[in-house]
Amino acid sequence: MARRTSEPRAPSRLSSRVAAAVLLACCALLLLAAPIAVARTSHSGHSQQGGDPSQTPPVAEPAAPAPVTAPVPGPAPVPPQPTQAEGGGRHGAGRESPAGSPRQRHAGARQQAAAQATSTAGQGAAAADQSTSSQPQAATGQAPSTSSASADSAPGSLTHRREERERHNKEERERHKEEALRHKEAKKAERSDESSKPGEEGSSSPEQVAEDTQGASALATPAPSGAVATIASSSSSRAPVTTSTPSVAGVSQQAVDGHRTRVARRPRTSRTHARTTNARGLTTAAAAASAAPALALRTTAHTGHGGSSGGGSRATKKPTTSSPLVTTITKIVGVVPTPIRVLIAVLAALALALAVRSRFSAARARRLERQRGQLLEDVGLLQAALLPVAPERLGPVGTSAAYKPADGPGAGGDFYDVFALEDGQLAVIVGDVSGHGRHALPHTALLRFTLRAYLEAGLSPRDAVQTAGAVLDRQLGGQFATVVAATYNPRERLLVYACAGHPAPMVLGARSDASTIEPVTASSSPPIGVGMRTGIRQTTVSVPGRAQVCFYTDGVTEARVGTELFGAERLRGTLAELGTGASAVAVLDGVVERADAHPDDMAACLLRVEGGEDPPEVILEELELDRDSAGSRRTERFLLACGVERDELAEVIHAARAAAGRDGTAVLECNHAQGAPHVTLRREHLRYLHVPRTEVEVSR
């Protein structure tokens, strides 16, 4: 039952768990996505402004070095730049101008000296304009100032820088410092790049120009590209400190990152371009455009060459790569009103609770299942202890046993045992404790093992039953038990059994007429536990030929056929039909087949004795007498049933009374071996036993 109920429960629990998990996952996604998306809204906005994401992929590796160098230039310049970038590219250009102008002126001086490459610079500026044309922000005012200052820096030396710085100090000290430091860095980068990669110049020049100009546009681009230029410049100037300003990176990096790779590889070329541009002096603006970014880019390049690589820039770049998804989620989350968010939170909590609950219940179910398994195992062990598996053969005798409880699979009040004795005999115990079911179990076990112990100790069946009856009479708690104990000696082919309120075993010979023995039933022993002396009778059967001996409990003969009892005759017919090779299981199955109902437990134990056709016969009946029973009507009935002539009764009873009166007990043996009964009296040896009989006395 338990299994049947637990099985349908399992899928429902599973499905509820799955549902809870899905719900939880959805809610968690929404809840988690919301803050992230909101946080990224700004990034995405900037990225849209600052540049196209398509440029970013190639940047990834070379961009990495940038953040590492960040500490070197000092964090001072960082704060203003993010604000510029966030505040919007177009205004950033205006603010950038002071920083740009000194440098540009300086660059202008240098460019004049260099006097070269203006055409390329001009091309670069054009390219920058094209690339940034999507942001048509106007920083027109800026253009002149930057252009005037554009001459500068690319070829600048340290002394140059110092002069520059002095000038700047007059105008704007802090800004000047920053720029000076940055220039220094750029210089170093330049040099190192030059030394490391001298030969790349020519091949990469067009790209480089584009980069440079793009960078330059940040400082000096004329009207149309101003906004982008600002962003780019801010990014390029900020490049060393990228890590500390991740939010800006998303924007500015785009402008620069795409080119940083190439810049890192070809710093010298860019520098050359800058020089050439300046030298040609075609456009100061263009020159400035090339110069300023060149420095900035070189800074990054330098850091890149420094060998340190970090994930900072990569990390800052990531948000922009997932921007489509983020944007979508942002849009979705943006429209979700607060009540719905609360609802989602509640649902999430509910899902969590469900998940927890299902987890607990699953654990509980597993625990119960485990306990059930253990219980079944225990019950199986106990049942095996009470209803052992009979060996198929004990010596020359085939043995089998079977049990059919009236209700349920557990052991009830019936019990049996088949086992070998040391002297080559085998022993059989079959019994029935009053009532049936689990309440009878303790007494069942007690009786079975007590009887077994006495039989193994060498007592005869009658002595074993008598001793057990004496010992256990008051231990059955008001219940009583019927038992039959038997031994079979294969060498002498003798079956000896003693009953206590129990039906005698059925012994069928080999003949087709299914002849059975007719034991004396008069003066049978009462059951164990009824307060009476038991174990007073014993029967010895000779089994010279093939035979089957069937021990059974009264559940078998009290099965119902219509309104009648199944009875001993039907059992005999069933045994005869099945033949001597039948097993106990087959016998009980046959009974169940023939009967309409079996309201009580049924147990059967079968011995199969091989041999010829000689029929079994009872050769000895014994009755133990005490002083009270010696002269009773029961004794008379017993003697009469044994075939003692009525006129001999008085003599026999007189002798028995005398013997019992003298010794307390006496045993009447009625021997049928020679045809006519031969009655003998012998003294009983178990007189030391206390035999309870007080209650019966009272009832009289």
Partner 1 sequence: MLRQVDTTDRPPAGAARFDIAREDLDERTCVIAVGGDLDLSSAPQLKWMLLDALEEGHGRLVLDLSRATFMDSTALGVMIGVNRSLSLGARLAIAGARHNVLNIFELSGMDGAFAMFGTLEEALAYVRGDAAEDR
Shortest CB 500 distance to partner 1, Å? 7
681 phi/psi in degrees, rounded to 5: -115, 130
**Cα 491 to Cα 609: distance, rounded to the nearest angstrom:** 12
596 binds partner 1 (CB under 8 A): yes
558 binds partner 1 (CB under 8 A): yes
Q: Which is nearer to partner 1, 398 or 503 (CB)?
A: 503
The encoded tokens of residue 377 equal 């195992």
| Chain centre distance of CA 462 | 59
534 binds partner 1 (CB under 8 A): yes
Per CB under 8 A, which of residues 473..492 are in contact with partner 1?
478, 480, 482
**Cα 681 to Cα 683: distance, rounded to the nearest angstrom:** 7
The encoded tokens of residue 451 equal 């009887």
**Cα 189 to Cα 302: distance, rounded to the nearest angstrom:** 4
Shortest CB 632 distance to partner 1, Å? 5
- Distance of CA 258 to CAs 212, 230, 303, 562, 640, Å? 12, 16, 17, 101, 125
Shortest CB 499 distance to partner 1, Å? 8
522 binds partner 1 (CB under 8 A): yes
370 binds partner 1 (CB under 8 A): no
**Cα 476 to Cα 534: distance, rounded to the nearest angstrom:** 15
The encoded tokens of residue 229 equal 């230029």
Tokens 């340190």 — which residue? Answer: 308
549 binds partner 1 (CB under 8 A): no
**Cα 472 to Cα 464: distance, rounded to the nearest angstrom:** 12
Determine the interface stretch with partner 1 among 108-116, 515-523, 538-546, 580-588 (rule: CB under 8 A): 515-523
Shortest CB 689 distance to partner 1, Å? 18
Q: Which is nearer to partner 1, 678 or 693 (CB)?
A: 693
Q: Which of 35, 324, 334, 599 binds partner 1 (CB under 8 A)?
A: 599
What is the size of the binding site for partner 1 (CB under 8 A)? 42
Per CB under 8 A, which of residues 422..481 are in contact with partner 1?
432, 434-435, 478, 480
**Cα 107 to Cα 152: distance, rounded to the nearest angstrom:** 1
Q: Which is nearer to partner 1, 485 or 510 (CB)?
A: 485
Query: Strands 393-394 and 397-404, how do they pair?
Result: antiparallel
600 binds partner 1 (CB under 8 A): yes
Query: Strands 426-433 and 414-420, how do they pair?
Result: antiparallel
Q: What is 527-557 written as a DSSP string?
A: PBTSSS----EEEEEE--BSEEEEEE-HHHH
Determine the interface stretch with partner 1 among 111-119, 372-380, 532-540, 643-651 (rule: CB under 8 A): 532-540
Q: Which of 185, 207, 554, 684 binds partner 1 (CB under 8 A)?
A: 554
**Cα 457 to Cα 43: distance, rounded to the nearest angstrom:** 96
Shortest CB 634 distance to partner 1, Å? 6
Tokens 């009967």 — which residue? Answer: 595
Q: Which of 167, 331, 359, 560 binds partner 1 (CB under 8 A)?
A: 560
Q: Residues 610-629: x/- map of binding to partner 1 (CB under 8 A)? A: -------------------x
Binding site for partner 1 (CB under 8 A): 432, 434-435, 478, 480, 482, 499-503, 521-527, 530-532, 534, 537, 554, 558, 560, 562-563, 565, 596-597, 599-600, 629, 632-634, 695-696, 698-700
